[in-house]
Structure 1
Amino acid sequence: MPAVPPRDLPALVAARRLAAGQGGVVSRRQLYAAGVTRWQVRGQVRSGRWQLVGDQSVCLHNTALGDEGHRWAAVFQGGPRACLDGASALVAGGLQRYDVDRVRVSVPRGARVRRSRRYDIRQTRRWDAADVVGTGVPRTRPAVAAVRAALWAATDRQAAYVLTLTVQQGLATAPQVGVEALRVRRDRRRVLVQQVVHELLEGARTLDEAAIVRELVRRGLPAPARQVVRRGRNGRYVLDLYWPEHGLVVEVDGIQHAWVDHVVGDAVRHNDLVLAGDRVLRVPMLGLRLEPDTFYGQIGEALGVGRHAE
């Protein structure tokens, strides 16, 4: 391996220092600005020490590129105003338990879109410089990214899931997501996003329960008693929906019931009711939005009316 001329060392050291904070990847523009020449890049690649990532990025090592490196390479491939968007931006910002198949990058409407088989680079009318995080890999702010991830999700279930995870994991608050949802004027999933955000905001719970009772009656099921006060061995409880003649309790769970500070109390109440002889069905509000037939069918089955009563 030929020795690096002393005059080239400062540029190469600067390039490696820059790459260390970008998953091992730098753009050609960054390399040239650091003083690395085109022929030096060509020589490092030919020798197998570096590798090209698309036509805009260079990886300054010869091992497999990690997730962070791919994110930077995707943004560099998108151009100077490109940024990670949607679920890709959320994952880059720390979202866990959510997989992204291809890195999604947004560029402004009218910008040049370079071809890429590896990355999903698209123009969007929603692009706004004010939405881009100013540190780290360029990406949209979590609240913005969550709404866009929901709009672009493959299914309604996935859309609800990514919005819920964003709030649960603290990347953005429900009010922040709500503000961004109001910016969406036209989209086939706009209503669903607003419904999920309403649930995340823990909106008019009694109204939601009233709507559930109306739907139960519409499906031919008996109406329950609502907000029934019971005293159990561990305290006083308020039951959401209760059929005393059937010994059936239905607890309507808002998003707050999945959070750590509610899990233990909910489990204690649930167990107390079961030990007292009642049956308890837990029905998540999001489940009623996404799979109503399944959950109403389970309630009907528990009441002995039939799983698909209408």
Structure 2
Amino acid sequence: MLSGVTTLLTGPRWRRALALADEQGGVLARKQLYALGVTRSEVTAHLRARRWQRVTDQVVAVHTGPLPELGMQWAAVLQGGPRAMLDGASSLLASGLQRYDVDRIRVSVPKGARVRRTERFDIRETRRLRRTDRAPGGVPRTRVPVAAVRAALWAKSDRQATYLLTLVVQQGMARPEQIGHELLTVRRHKRRQLLAAVVNDLLGGVRSLGELDLMRELRRRGLPAPAQQVVRRGRDGRYYLDLYWPDLGVVVEVDGIHHTWVENVVGDALRQNSLALERDVVLRVPLLGLRLQPDEFYAQIEQALTDAAARRAA
């Protein structure tokens, strides 16, 4: 990547420096340069001649072009110091998370570490950081399950926290049980209960619990009780309806995260289409939706039941 940066950098120390910079997205800490035998005056000379550029007070880029994402990540860690790691959503992005972005790169350092903070990066001390948190290889960062839990704890909203955990599982970066294991290390946090519920949803084993929650809330709102786990037969075989009001022709399907995965999409669509052809009204209620926007979903169920009752009475 850095070939042709300058013809002035010759000799073993410069070859080692440029090789290291190449691994780090084009950036080096001043301490790394000094350890390789490059002097302070040489660094200053390259910066003044605009062959290099200053990234922070501790990090330089050995070129003058824009920094790639890898270079920005390394610069943030190098600025944080020898025990710094990318953390939270920034760590997830470095591990390959897609369809997400951050405003500032987040770096964690152990409590009590000397930190040279900069407005460019979000560098914070934390008591949560452990040596075992570090992912193997690449830019120093926390392991995916650790990063996922912290990203969710630090998210701006419950919606964002839920979205992050869902993305990590959907993209195969970590299993729900791995995230749940890391969540057990969190003793106190206002979002801990929500995250535990989301992890349970992601496990796909709490569908019946979601149905029980729905039943209790329907009773509280004075709505008629449905039949549960009703067996129906379609052209593709036998299937179960989660909640069913046979007299009104209304069906509510409770969807866990597994319903959004490719292997389930076709089967779910065939089942819903079969019900629609039989004139039933089908509402899909994702468990994650019940965590974030319950009133909107319950209002839709109430409207469907009210409209169906009105049609039957007409």
**TM interval, short-chain normalised:** over 0.9
Give yes or no for contact 2:149–2:179 (8 Å, CA) kept in 1: yes
TM-score norm. by structure 2 comes to 0.93
Q: Which amino acid aligns with 1:163?
A: L
Quote the residue 2:151 is aligned against. Answer: 149
**What displacement does 1:43 show?**
1.5
SS of 1:101's partner is coil
Aligned counterpart in structure 2 of residue 55 of structure 1, from 57, 72, 87: 57
TM-score norm. by structure 1 comes to 0.94
**What displacement does 1:231 show?**
0.7
Give yes or no for contact 1:221–1:305 (8 Å, CA) kept in 2: no
**What displacement does 1:305 show?**
7.0
Distance 1:50 1:235, change over 3 A: same
Distance 1:9 1:216 in 2: 76
Aligned counterpart in structure 1 of residue 23 of structure 2, from 17, 21, 32: 21
Structure 1 residue ranges without an equivalent (≥5): none
Distance 1:268 1:37 in 2: 70
Greater CA drift, 80-89 or 195-204: 195-204
| Matching of residue 188 in structure 1 with residue 178 in structure 2 | no
Give yes or no for contact 2:25–2:68 (8 Å, CA) kept in 1: yes
Distance 2:137 2:234 in 1: 52
Distance 1:275 1:127, change over 3 A: same
Report matched runs for 1:190-209 at 5 Å: 190-209=192-211
SS of 2:254's partner is strand
Give yes or no for contact 1:234–1:272 (8 Å, CA) kept in 2: no
Aligned counterpart in structure 1 of residue 8 of structure 2, from 4, 9, 30: 4
Quote the residue 2:70 is aligned against. Answer: 68
1:76-104 deviation digits (Å, cap 9, x = unpaired):
11111000000000010001011111100
Quote the residue 1:123 is aligned against. Answer: 125
- Name the count of aligned residue pairs: 304
1:181-235 deviation digits (Å, cap 9, x = unpaired):
0110011111011111111112332232122111111112111111011111222
Distance 1:185 1:82 in 2: 23
1:146-184 deviation digits (Å, cap 9, x = unpaired):
000000000000001111111111111111101000110
Give yes or no for contact 2:55–2:75 (8 Å, CA) kept in 1: yes
**What displacement does 1:134 show?**
2.8
Distance 2:26 2:219 in 1: 61
**What displacement does 1:258 show?**
1.1
Distance 2:30 2:270 in 1: 59
Distance 1:86 1:250 in 2: 36
Aligned counterpart in structure 2 of residue 226 of structure 1, from 225, 228, 232: 228
SS of 2:96's partner is coil
Report matched runs for 1:103-122 at 5 Å: 103-122=105-124
Q: Which amino acid aligns with 2:106?
A: R
Quote the residue 1:170 is aligned against. Answer: 172
Aligned counterpart in structure 2 of residue 35 of structure 1, from 37, 44, 47: 37
Q: Which amino acid aligns with 1:85?
A: D
Greater CA drift, 262-271 or 69-78: 262-271
Identity among equivalent positions (%) equals: 62
SS of 1:289's partner is helix
Q: CA RMSD in A?
A: 1.7
Give yes or no for contact 1:19–1:60 (8 Å, CA) kept in 2: yes
Greater CA drift, 145-154 or 12-21: 12-21
Distance 1:287 1:3, change over 3 A: closer
SS of 2:241's partner is strand
Report matched runs for 1:159-308 at 5 Å: 159-304=161-306
Distance 1:256 1:288 in 2: 16
Distance 2:190 2:209 in 1: 25
**What displacement does 1:115 show?**
1.9
Give yes or no for contact 2:107–2:124 (8 Å, CA) kept in 1: yes
**What displacement does 1:119 show?**
0.5
Distance 1:12 1:171 in 2: 38
Greater CA drift, 10-19 or 226-235: 10-19
**What displacement does 1:41 show?**
1.2
Greater CA drift, 197-206 or 112-121: 197-206
**What displacement does 1:255 show?**
0.8
